[in-house]
Amino acid sequence: MRRLTVLLVSLVALMLVFPIIGQAEQSDERNNYYYILIDRFQNSNSITEEGVDRNDPFGFHGGDFVGIADRISHIDDLGVSHVVLSPIFASDDYTGQTVLDYEQIQQTFGSVEDAIELVESFNEAGIEVILHFPIEQVSENSPIVEEEWVTEEGTVQLEDEPAQAYLLEQMTEWQETLGTSGFFISNADQLPVSYVDTLTNELSNQFWISELADFNESNVESILDAGFDRVLHGEFREDARELFKTIEVDYDPILNDPYLDDERVVHYMDHYTTDRFTRAMEESGFHPITRWKMALTYLYMTPNEPWLFQGTEVPSDGLVEDNSHHAMVNFLSGDEQLIRHIEKLESFNDHFPEVSHGDINVLHDDDYFLVFEREHEGNRVLVAINNSPNFQYADIDHLPSDMEMRGLIEDDLIRENEDGTYTVSLERESSNVYNVQPNQGIYWPLTSLFFGVLGAFIVFAIIMYRKNRRQDRMDEQEQNSNE
């Protein structure tokens, strides 16, 4: 009887979800990125431990290529299109930012063969690999400090043609060796514009992403015009952090962002250079999972492509101050709520062209309750985020008649009111995404199945009831005869 009850509940859920999935159309995917700090991702225990000191928060902790390969299915489940690997070169620094030797791989990460196999495995999973390539600084102990174009402190003089030629040569050789698909360059606005042009022209088949030392309109346009494909938006992170870490904060800073609808500008909540967003809830006292869900809904449902730093899905905690933001990822945390949430959000990109290509239109922004739509060729998806301490609702009046909105994150069905509006409502500190489609009415195939199972359940219950009654009478008769 218990199994039948479970089956009944499952069929009810299928009846709600099936029309959404069945009618979805495939669209070209937009990108989403996952940055891996190699030394702090996962240790496979199969690579040399020489130079590893896990007691030193600023030392090497042993993360390696084989450890990453062990987690490809996890990354694939998140719907990631591009993995960004931190610098792989021999370095004094576990982040790889101060290079010892561009021609050698950091020994604690593994071998060149391990790196090649890792890239191939990602590609087989449909995930492209981008290499974070440090350009401006090398270690004071690097042999190339002897070159005229490097200072004693290790600063690379990028105005010098020999420096430019050497770095271009290294980038070309590593791309050809590993089979990577692109490069991530820090502080690209600090490079000579002519050199940026040279890099993107010489390696025009590569996908180029940058972060800027100074994010402003002039630098953004200059880097994009020079051939970069994407730019990270650090200022968005600051505004979004202040908004989503607590309740009752206006959405204006992120809604008025001039790059809100620019697909070339990438948004993130965590990065290898920042405190973890989870730590912000230590200040506000709110539940991290709840706040992360709202932030991720916004991150994935706006036109800007999302960027995750490793461990966001756990979610990891930590501060830059004590280097705890770079703690090894705890994949055994036991809470998969954010993983499931990210999987849902990314699946919308696959099923709804509105999410990957649609315009964004704000429909309601009042009392910390935000409703916006993504619209593409007449098709719509609505997004609602309630950042208030109260239940909120809004009447949406611009949709055509006889439509319905089905909740994709949380089960919900909204149909037209008598006055032609559609009422979107949410509990406190929550979000939902709605597929807007013609009114489906009653979905008869599954409804018939539902009532069939319900009928069988009732018949089964009656049979069991009669059987139990008959057994009770027999027990009573036996008791009377014994007396």
Q: What angle do CA 434, 440, 441 make, to 5 degrees?
A: 120
List the single range of 31-35, 299-303, 436-440, 456-460 with lowest mean pLDDT.
456-460
Do residues 379 and 354 lie in contact, with contact meaning Cβ atoms separated by under 8 Å? Answer: yes
Please list the residues that pair with 248 across neighbouring strands: none
Q: Within 10 Å of residue 273's Cβ, how many Cβ atoms?
A: 13
How big, in percent rounded to 5, are the helix, strand and coil portions of the chain? Answer: 40, 20, 40
**52-61: average pLDDT:** 94
Q: pLDDT band at 15, cuts 50/70/90?
A: very low
Q: Is 224 a residue whose pLDDT tops 80?
A: yes
Which three-class secondary structure state does DSSP give residue 180?
A: coil
Task: Provide the pLDDT for residue 472.
Answer: 65
Residues 424 and 439: their CA atoms lie apart, in Å, by 16
End-to-end CA distance of the chain: 35
Taking CA atoms, 71 is separated from 297, 312, 324, 343, in Å, by 24, 15, 22, 16
Task: Provide the pLDDT for residue 449.
Answer: 57
The per-residue pLDDT for range 130-164, each reduced to its tens digit, is: 999 999 999 999 999 999 999 999 999 999 999 99
**172-191: average pLDDT:** 96
Residues 344 and 260: their CA atoms lie apart, in Å, by 22
Which three-class secondary structure state does DSSP give residue 435?
A: strand
Side chain identity at 161, as an amino acid letter? E
Q: pLDDT band at 29, cuts 50/70/90?
A: low
Q: Is 223 a residue whose pLDDT tops 70?
A: yes
Query: What percent of the chain is modeled with pLDDT above 70?
Result: 87
**291-304: average pLDDT:** 97
Pairing of β 413-415 and β 403-407: antiparallel
Q: pLDDT band at 24, cuts 50/70/90?
A: very low
Task: Provide the pLDDT for residue 462.
Answer: 72
User: Which residues lie closer than 8 Å to 161 by C-beta, 6 or more apart?
Assistant: none
Q: Is 229 a residue whose pLDDT tops 50?
A: yes
Please list the residues that pair with 370 across neighbouring strands: 365, 385
Query: In which element (H, E) is residue 66 found?
Result: helix 65-69
Task: Provide the pLDDT for residue 335.
Answer: 81
Q: What angle do CA 276, 54, 93 make, to 5 degrees?
A: 70
The per-residue pLDDT for range 260-289, each reduced to its tens digit, is: 999 999 999 999 999 999 999 988 999 999
**228-239: average pLDDT:** 96
**230-235: average pLDDT:** 95
What is the separation of C-alpha 312 from the centre of its chain, rounded to a whole number of angstroms?
A: 8
Give burial (CB, 10 Å; 0-12/13-18/19+) of 453: middle
Pairing of β 430-438 and β 379-386: antiparallel
User: Which residues lie closer than 8 Å to 221 by C-beta, 6 or more apart?
Assistant: none
The token duo for 432 is: 């939902």
User: Which residues lie closer than 8 Å to 172 by C-beta, 6 or more apart?
Assistant: 202, 203
Average pLDDT, the chain: 89
Query: What percent of the chain is modeled with pLDDT above 90?
Result: 80
Q: pLDDT band at 483, cuts 50/70/90?
A: low
Q: Is 465 a residue whose pLDDT tops 70?
A: no
The per-residue pLDDT for range 335-353, each reduced to its tens digit, is: 899 999 999 999 998 899 9
> Buried b vs exposed e over 22-35: b needs ≥16 C-beta within 10 Å?
eebeebeebbbbbb
> Buried b vs exposed e over 387-398: b needs ≥16 C-beta within 10 Å?
bbeeebebebee
Peptide bond into 143 cis (omega under 30): no
Q: pLDDT band at 45, cuts 50/70/90?
A: confident
Q: Is 21 a residue whose pLDDT tops 70?
A: no
User: Which residues lie closer than 8 Å to 77 by C-beta, 6 or more apart?
Assistant: 339, 343
Do residues 322 and 47 lie in contact, with contact meaning Cβ atoms separated by under 8 Å? Answer: no
More confident residue, 5 or 53: 53
The per-residue pLDDT for range 398-422, each reduced to its tens digit, is: 999 999 999 999 999 999 999 999 9
Task: Provide the pLDDT for residue 440.
Answer: 86
Query: In which element (H, E) is residue 476 found?
Result: helix 444-482
The token duo for 247 is: 């309740």
Task: Provide the pLDDT for residue 27.
Answer: 39
Task: Provide the pLDDT for residue 458.
Answer: 79
With the C-alpha atoms ordered 160, 166, 172, 178, is the resulting torsion angle positive or negative? negative
Task: Provide the pLDDT for residue 199.
Answer: 96
pTM: 0.86
Q: Is 19 a residue whose pLDDT tops 60?
A: no
**77-86: average pLDDT:** 97
Do residues 96 and 106 lie in contact, with contact meaning Cβ atoms separated by under 8 Å? Answer: yes
Task: Look at phi and psi of residue 429 and say left if phi exceeds 0, alpha if psi is from -120 to 50, else beta.
Answer: left
HSE toward the beta carbon, residue 58, CA cutoff 13 A: 5
Task: Provide the pLDDT for residue 471.
Answer: 67
Task: Provide the pLDDT for residue 179.
Answer: 97
**300-315: average pLDDT:** 96
**Which residue's entry shows tokens 């461990």?**
311
Task: Provide the pLDDT for residue 283.
Answer: 87
